[in-house]
Chain A
Amino acid sequence: MNIRFAASILAVSTLAVAACQKKPPEELPPPPQQTTSATPAPMQGPAAGALGTQSHFTNAVGAANTVVYFDTDRYNIDTSSSAKLQNQARYFSQYSNLTFTIEGHTDERGTRDYNLALGERRANAAKNYLVSLGIPATRIRTVSYGKERPVELGSNPTAWAQNRRAASVVIN
């Protein structure tokens, strides 16, 4: 997941500059051809980007802290997720001009409409937790992709666990 974000920073920045409207792209460009890996690799490779980029964010908080995970059909923020969100809250308090998006996702083992609503619930739960830590709600946008954007491609519990997530993304 690290390498994916780092490698796509240039493309994201270009998109942000070139776009006529201040709307974020629907989705970050696809990752380079990589087979799936369950654990995020330690940060290495290109240096972090400037403030306002995703790579600045992941470099500061650690890539693992940008994504929280959920049990099947659940949308509660558990202890591990709250620790990650506290890391995020520190960052977003420090850089108080930043706005960002929380994307909500589900695994493929659900029907399409319900999963869109469940993804929204998850994104919203993460947002509410950050708001409770003092981040103004107006700086946080949520979007649900339901089961449409998995990161792990297998049809097994391990892959599904990786896809049930709410990912914080800085798009400027």
Chain B
Amino acid sequence: MKTLSFALAFLVAAPAAAQQTDLGAPLPEGGEVETIEQAESGLSFTVTDESAWENLGIAIPAFATDRNVPTPANQSGTAALGVELARVVTANLRNNGLFEPTGPDSLPRPEFAQITAPSWATWSNRGAEMLVQGYVRGRSDGRLTVGCYLYDMSLRSELVREGWVVPAADWRRAAHKCSDLIYSRLTGESPFFDSRIAYIAETGPKNNRTKRLAIMDSDGANHRFITTGRSTALTPRYSPDYRKLVYLSYVDGNPRIYVYDIGTGQQTLVTQSENPTFAPRWTPDGRSILYSMAVNGNTDIYRVGASGGQSTRLTDAPGIDIGGSYSPDGSKIVFESDRSGTQQIYVMNADGSDQQRLSFFGGRAATPEWSPRGDQIAFTHITGDFRVAVMNTNGRNIRYLTNSWQDEAPTWAPNGRIVQFFRTERNSGSTGLWQVDLTGENERRLPTPVDASDPAWGPILP
């Protein structure tokens, strides 16, 4: 199914428009998810011990349906969709590394009535401390109602429940919402499954790479190409409201930054300047964009309104000042600068004042990204190899999360717990997206259709 949608997207994108555009057809916009049925009860169970990796057994049987009706979300109807929903939740929790889920394919199928009153005997002796029960119902307007319930097996009590109404095309979002509900309730962490990732899809030989802007769900599903690949696209970022992407494109022969509107499929230049521009980033409120511009070889960081206008210059040191990541409250920016002689990490106020060096680890420090939790900065540390690392916001306490030849450009999951980066293979130049937990555990590759780089994780979907 993934291959088919990949081929389809390529076919849709192929017909060329004007000579200087590189955009595929506009994408259908996502629907809204309405939340219903909120109630919390029962004891609190929190995984707080980070030194030992907890494997919490959790049973996730198929979601039940009251009547098996046709739905655009699944050609076999809502009963089959119930299995798919449970599979998505199972995969999410398994990939996360904190859980040991048993999915619907290894479990009996509950009846609709049992969802709110579990048949405990069915689920005992399966090594599961937690039980998920869910349901899906087709509505007359074509949308789906999905309910998600979490039970503590030993106490035989409900911990949390929530329900959502989603357009059929967005059925996976209900599974991600359910995963987030379970994850948050059991770990105390903020959610992150219901989010999307922008990145660059790569094909071709090392000296002639085709690089296309692409987006996908946090688990790799619903993959879409935005550009055709006729021109190189680099370093994309989702706007906080998911309506736009900012990225660098060579479509007119020079490195230029564009703001691409996902709904209209149109894009505009972030600045009319003829100077080369790099490294676009959004402000936390989504109203402005940071970018770096080279004038006579000297690169500095600027801020401009997302719909254009005058740019404000933030740095003016001789040398390369580039990048920039805001603290979650928008008051400070970390960026990279080689004003000291080598690439290092600096922090400044959002207005450009009080610029201070943060990294004093030896080697070089690059690509700083402020955690959404505000407590850590992820970055690339270079001493020979390129390693993903984190440090406190005062520049102390460096911890390495990876150890390979070239891992770079870490960005954060919306909850500040997982770091995503790309890994380049020596000699072949092959690239792929990888994720690792903040503890350094659970390093895993994110599946993508082709090679991939420059991942940027958007916030929780509104």
Q: Among A23, A117, A123, A154, point to the contact of B320 (Cβ < 8 A).
A: A117
Q: How far is the CA of A30 from the CA of B338 in the complex (A)?
A: 34
- The segment out of A45-53, A89-97, A108-116 that lies at the interface is A108-116
In the complex, what residues of B have CB within 8 A of residue A112's CB?
234-235, 408-409, 453-454
Given the contacts A112-B235, A117-B320, A148 and B299 also touching, CB distance less than 8 Å: no
Flag whether A69 is at the interface (Cβ < 8 A). no
**From residue 122 to 180 of chain B, which have CB atoms closer than 8 A to chain A?**
none
Are B294 and A120 in contact (CB-based, < 8 A)? yes
In the complex, what residues of A have CB within 8 A of residue B367's CB?
111, 113
Are A117 and B299 in contact (CB-based, < 8 A)? yes
**From residue 135 to 152 of chain A, which have CB atoms closer than 8 A to chain B?**
142-144, 148-151
Are A121 and B297 in contact (CB-based, < 8 A)? yes
Are A21 and B294 in contact (CB-based, < 8 A)? no
Q: Among A20, A30, A154, point to the contact of B208 (Cβ < 8 A).
A: A30
Are A108 and B424 in contact (CB-based, < 8 A)? yes
Q: How far is the CA of A19 from the CA of B19 in the complex (A)?
A: 9
Q: How far is the CA of A80 from the CA of B323 in the complex (A)?
A: 33
Are B294 and A117 in contact (CB-based, < 8 A)? yes
Flag whether B343 is at the interface (Cβ < 8 A). yes
Q: How far is the CA of A50 from the CA of B414 in the complex (A)?
A: 57
In the complex, what residues of B have CB within 8 A of residue A27's CB?
208
Given the contacts A112-B408, A116-B278, A118-B320, A30 and B207 also touching, CB distance less than 8 Å: yes
Q: Among A26, A30, A109, A113, point to the contact of B279 (Cβ < 8 A).
A: A113
Q: From residue B406, how far is it (CB to closest CB) to chain A in Å?
A: 8
Flag whether B436 is at the interface (Cβ < 8 A). no
Flag whether B305 is at the interface (Cβ < 8 A). no
Are B427 and A154 in contact (CB-based, < 8 A)? yes
Are A113 and B207 in contact (CB-based, < 8 A)? no
In the complex, what residues of A have CB within 8 A of residue B427's CB?
153-155
Are B276 and A144 in contact (CB-based, < 8 A)? yes
Are B323 and A26 in contact (CB-based, < 8 A)? no
Flag whether B360 is at the interface (Cβ < 8 A). no
Given the contacts A111-B408, A112-B409, A114-B366, A23 and B336 also touching, CB distance less than 8 Å: no
Flag whether B20 is at the interface (Cβ < 8 A). yes
Q: How far is the CA of A93 from the CA of B268 in the complex (A)?
A: 39
Q: From residue B246, how far is it (CB to closest CB) to chain A in Å?
A: 13
Flag whether A25 is at the interface (Cβ < 8 A). yes
Q: How far is the CA of A31 from the CA of B424 in the complex (A)?
A: 24
In the complex, what residues of B have CB within 8 A of residue A148's CB?
209, 211, 232, 234
Flag whether A125 is at the interface (Cβ < 8 A). yes
Flag whether B315 is at the interface (Cβ < 8 A). no
Flag whether A78 is at the interface (Cβ < 8 A). no
Q: Among A109, A113, A124, A155, point to the contact of B235 (Cβ < 8 A).
A: A113
Q: From residue B337, how far is it (CB to closest CB) to chain A in Å?
A: 10
Q: Among A31, A113, A121, A149, point to the contact of B323 (Cβ < 8 A).
A: A113
Are A111 and B380 in contact (CB-based, < 8 A)? yes
In the complex, what residues of A have CB within 8 A of residue B76's CB?
none
In the complex, what residues of B have CB within 8 A of residue A75's CB?
297
Given the contacts A21-B20, A143-B253, A153 and B206 also touching, CB distance less than 8 Å: yes
User: When each residue 318-345 of chain B gets 1 if its CB lies under 8 Å from chain A and 0 otherwise, what string results?
Assistant: 0010110000000000001010001100
Q: How far is the CA of A149 from the CA of B204 in the complex (A)?
A: 12
In the complex, what residues of A have CB within 8 A of residue B298's CB?
121
In the complex, what residues of A have CB within 8 A of residue B299's CB?
117, 120-121
Given the contacts A120-B297, A124-B297, A114 and B207 also touching, CB distance less than 8 Å: no
Flag whether B372 is at the interface (Cβ < 8 A). no
In the complex, what residues of A have CB within 8 A of residue B207's CB?
30-31, 149-151, 153
**From residue 10 to 28 of chain A, which have CB atoms closer than 8 A to chain B?**
19-21, 23-27
Q: From residue A164, how far is it (CB to closest CB) to chain B in Å?
A: 15
Q: How far is the CA of A142 from the CA of B392 in the complex (A)?
A: 39
User: When each residue 65-81 of chain A gets 1 if its CB lies under 8 Å from chain B and 0 otherwise, what string results?
Assistant: 00000000101000000
Flag whether B272 is at the interface (Cβ < 8 A). no
In the complex, what residues of B have CB within 8 A of residue A113's CB?
235, 278-279, 292, 322-323, 336, 367
Given the contacts A23-B252, A117-B299, A124-B296, A155 and B279 also touching, CB distance less than 8 Å: no
Flag whether B439 is at the interface (Cβ < 8 A). no
User: When each residue 390-422 of chain B gets 1 if its CB lies under 8 Å from chain A and 0 otherwise, what string results?
Assistant: 000000000000000110110000000000000
Task: Give the nearest-CB partner of A31 in chain B.
Answer: B207
Are A150 and B206 in contact (CB-based, < 8 A)? yes
Q: How far is the CA of A123 from the CA of B294 in the complex (A)?
A: 11
8 pairs of residues in contact across A and B, judged by CB atoms under 8 Å: A30-B207, A112-B234, A117-B322, A121-B298, A125-B297, A143-B255, A143-B276, A151-B207
Q: Which residues of B contact A (CB under 8 A)?
A: 19-20, 205-209, 211, 231-232, 234-235, 248, 250, 252-255, 276, 278-279, 292, 294, 296-299, 320, 322-323, 336, 338, 342-343, 366-367, 380, 382, 386, 405-406, 408-409, 424, 426-427, 429, 453-454
